[in-house]
Amino acid sequence: MKRLLERIDREILAAGGKRSRSRAVVIEGFFRARDHVTIEELTRSVRESAPGIGAVTVYRTLKLLERLGYAKELDFGEGARRYESNLSPHHDHLVCRQCGTVIEFKDRGIENLQDLVTRRHGFHPTAHRLEIYGFCRKCAPGNSPERFG
Amino acid sequence: MKRLLERIDREILAAGGKRSRSRAVVIEGFFRARDHVTIEELTRSVRESAPGIGAVTVYRTLKLLERLGYAKELDFGEGARRYESNLSPHHDHLVCRQCGTVIEFKDRGIENLQDLVTRRHGFHPTAHRLEIYGFCRKCAPGNSPERFG
DNA sequence: GATATGATGAAAATGAATTTCATCATCAGA
DNA sequence: TCTGATGATGAAATTCATTTTCATCATATC
């Protein structure tokens, strides 16, 4: 973690930025937080140790991390965006509509077929998003007495 | 088209709604419009024939069509939602980041693999979204002198 | 035709995200 | 180490899509 923060620090410096205490706290908080956080969640958690930090700084810092390639914006259609660390390799998401759990998955076969599809249309892909919405194992119809029983 | 509008009309009545001129204009406008319209685009086009129609009515009418199963909300991350008719069977989208063109595609292989993935995680899917972003044939790197030359 | 109630549109409200701006902090050079 | 330039901050204001409110209008129903 220390290594990572120092590396990001160096990249910010190299890009003409300056160090700042608030930003450091937000960045560390982001990598320590559970994945797929909203700005609001992250702001709340970061303020536990550094109460003065404004939500605007959290917005700005995550935009910065995204620009540097360390964070990824997600949108599960909830109104507010979520962010995940971009350190682990690319993956897609299963999103439970009941409890909000997000399961990450990776499927080489799907990716290959996507490549075929784009090639067939002469399309040059730069990114994709695949989300499957439904009910996770725990919330599945039949396993949720209070909802279906 | 006439048939379709009458059928929707009947469904609205059956659900306890009433007929309305404005709404009829919006619904017809929606099915005549090019696919993947924004509220703003549809409002503008609808106002050419019925200037008094408020954007709020367009919002409400598309929500209604969605509830009835005739329209689908899309979000290509542009800030404003888009809507497409839900009459044609399910498909996914290639979205050009340069010119905004949207190509629809359908790939049974991808869908099958998605089913496998969800089953592997004990997940019960109810919907999914797959969008591939990049450059369409016309805007592809190498074909766009003003951008890459 | 009278009446209950759904639909409308303008304006206000909401809420996430961004911008503005005065102030503070940090880096670079003397 | 001091100092000036400029990046970063946080509060408040702004933006923008969408939703809600509300007085009024329109349409089914009796």
Which structure tokens are listed for B78? 């542009």
For tokens 């160096």, the residue is A10
Q: What's the pLDDT at A147?
A: 35
Smallest Cα–C1' distance to nucleotide D16: which residue has it?
Answer: B79
Task: Tell me which residue range forms the domain holding A115.
Answer: 92-148
Nucleic strand C near CB of residue B53 (< 7 Å): yes
- Domain boundary pick from B33, B52, B85: B85
Which structure tokens are listed for B23? 């709404």
Kindly state whether residues B80 and B98 are assigned to the same domain: no
- Domain boundary pick from A85, A114, A136: A85
Of the candidates B28, B37, B34, the residue with the CA atom closest to the CA atom of residue B3 = B28
- Domain boundary pick from A34, A54, A85: A85
- Considering only alpha carbons, which residue of chain A is nearest residue B106? A117
Kindly state whether residues B80 and B11 are assigned to the same domain: yes
Kindly state whether residues A105 and A63 are assigned to the same domain: no
Nucleic strand C near CB of residue B145 (< 7 Å): no
For the cut 90, the answer to whether the pLDDT of residue B140 exceeds it is no
Return the residue in B120, B124, B138 with the most chain A beta carbons within 10 A, the one to mutate for interface testing: B124
Kindly state whether residues B12 and B55 are assigned to the same domain: yes
* Contact assignment for B131 to A128 by CB distance below 8 Å: yes
Which residue among B96, B122, B141 places its CB closest to the CB of A140?
B122
Nucleic strand C near CB of residue B125 (< 7 Å): no
Kindly state whether residues A9 and A73 are assigned to the same domain: yes
For the cut 80, the answer to whether the pLDDT of residue B149 exceeds it is no
CA distance B17 to chain A (A): 28
For the cut 50, the answer to whether the pLDDT of residue B102 exceeds it is yes
CATH of the domain at A37: 1.10.10.10
Q: What's the pLDDT at A143?
A: 60
> Which residues fall within 8 angstroms of residue A79, CB to CB, at 6 or more apart?
none
What is the percent of chain B with per-residue pLDDT over 90, rounded to a whole number? 91
Q: How far is the CA of A122 from the C1' of C2 (A)?
A: 65
CA dihedral B37, B90, B111, B97 (to 10 degrees): -20
Kindly state whether residues B79 and B9 are assigned to the same domain: yes
Smallest Cα–C1' distance to nucleotide D9: which residue has it?
Answer: A57
pLDDT in tens, chain A (149 residues): 899 999 999 999 999 999 999 999 999 999 999 999 999 999 999 999 999 999 999 999 999 999 999 999 999 999 999 999 999 999 999 999 999 999 999 999 999 999 999 999 999 999 999 999 999 999 987 664 443 33
Smallest Cα–C1' distance to nucleotide C10: which residue has it?
Answer: B54
Q: What's the pLDDT at B143?
A: 60
CATH of the domain at A123: 3.30.1490.190
What confidence tier does B147 reach under pLDDT thresholds 50, 70, 90?
very low
Kindly state whether residues B78 and B106 are assigned to the same domain: no
- Bridge partners (DSSP) listed for residue B125: A134
Q: What is the DSSP secondary-structure string of A18-82?
A: ---HHHHHHHHHHHHSPSSEEHHHHHHHHHHH-TT--HHHHHHHHHHHHHHTSEEEE--SSSS-E
Residue B90: helix, strand or coil by DSSP?
coil
Kindly state whether residues A30 and A98 are assigned to the same domain: no
Q: What's the pLDDT at A18?
A: 96
| Contact indicator for A24, A1 with CB cutoff of 8 Å | no
pLDDT digits 0-9 by tens, B7-21: 999 999 999 999 999
Fill in the amino acid letter for B97. Answer: R
Nucleic strand C near CB of residue B51 (< 7 Å): no
CA dihedral B21, B23, B27, B32 (to 10 degrees): 50
CA distance A73 to chain B (A): 10
> How many folded domains does chain B comprise?
2
pLDDT digits 0-9 by tens, B36-52: 999 999 999 999 999 99
For the cut 90, the answer to whether the pLDDT of residue B58 exceeds it is yes
